[in-house]
Amino acid sequence: MSFINKVVLVTGAGSGIGEAIAIHFAKLSARLSLVDIDAENLRKTADVCEQISRVKVLTTVADLCKDNDVKQAVDDTVKEFGRIDVVISCAGIYKPGSVLDSDLIEVFDHVMATNLRSVVCLTNLTAPLLEETKGCIVNISSSTSIPCAIQSIPYSAAIAALNHFTTSIALDLSSKGVRVNSILPGIVKTNILQNSGMNDEETEEFYNKASTPLKRILQCDEIAELAAFLASDKARAMTGGSYQIDAGLALK
């Protein structure tokens, strides 16, 4: 599998799953446009990718909750490469939220803006470019079992809406030759829990207690390999799909 001369835009590339996706595509010779709010981590990922591919990686530091920042990332990519072939939306946050919380609406707005609205904005801006290249979109969502987790109302709502958005745009864009799929990961060891405010001890406890039918927690590169497959020509007949990769979590 090779993405030589293909331009791949990855959001959330500074950490976790997005970082692994960027590195995997660098190994597959893609030209990369990487986006994240965290400038330092973004640069670290880009450095690793450049060491692998020996070509310059474009980085855009952007808060994807801001429409102008999303536009900047797209404009930078087109200016540098003249095209976009693959868009992978991976930037996201987890924040606990119960309907009894006094700050629920604030948390809800932040999670929705990051995990859903930013994807809608990015899709809106890149769809015409993907139509030109007959490209594709891969959205990183979450295992269908996670949306029902306790005290996860904002995250659950964003994931459910993202899944519906993904299948809706798959239908919209199919007539333009653009494929759209999503990946629904289960429990993957990343920084998402620490970034949500959990300390190291709580995070360790969460991973120790986590159980899946296959008795394993996923590694980021397993998600990256699936993303590359869905973005490749091998998946040319696949659109509108939601691919669970969760060690059986959704079966429980």
Which residues sit at the interface with ligand NAD, rule CB under 6 A?
A: 12, 14-18, 36-38, 41, 62-65, 90-93, 114-115, 140, 142, 185, 187-188, 190-192, 195
Q: How does DSSP assign 44-98, residue by residue?
A: HHHHHHHHHH-S--EEEE--TTSHHHHHHHHHHHHHHHS---EEEE-------B-
Shortest Å, Cβ 239 to ligand NAD: 21
195 or 232, CB closer to ligand NAD? 195
37 or 84, CB closer to ligand NAD? 37
17 or 237, CB closer to ligand NAD? 17
Distance between CA atoms of residues 34 and 60, nearest Å: 6
53 or 141, CB closer to ligand NAD? 141
Shortest Å, Cβ 59 to ligand NAD: 12
41 or 77, CB closer to ligand NAD? 41
**What residues contact residue 246 under an 8 Å CB cut-off, 6+ apart?**
143, 145, 184, 185, 186, 187, 212, 218
Shortest Å, Cβ 228 to ligand NAD: 16
94, 155, 207, 243: which one is catalytic?
Answer: 155
Distance between CA atoms of residues 96 and 28, nearest Å: 36
Radius of gyration of the chain (CA): 17
Query: Is 243 annotated in the active site?
Result: no
Shortest Å, Cβ 245 to ligand NAD: 9
Shortest Å, Cβ 171 to ligand NAD: 23
Shortest Å, Cβ 162 to ligand NAD: 9
77 or 175, CB closer to ligand NAD? 77
- Please tell me the number of Cα atoms within 13 Å of 150 on its side-chain side: 0
Distance between CA atoms of residues 28 and 25, nearest Å: 5
Hey, what amino acid is at 178? V
Measured from the Cβ of residue 16, the count of other Cβ atoms closer than 10 Å reads: 21
Q: Catalytic positions, please?
A: 155
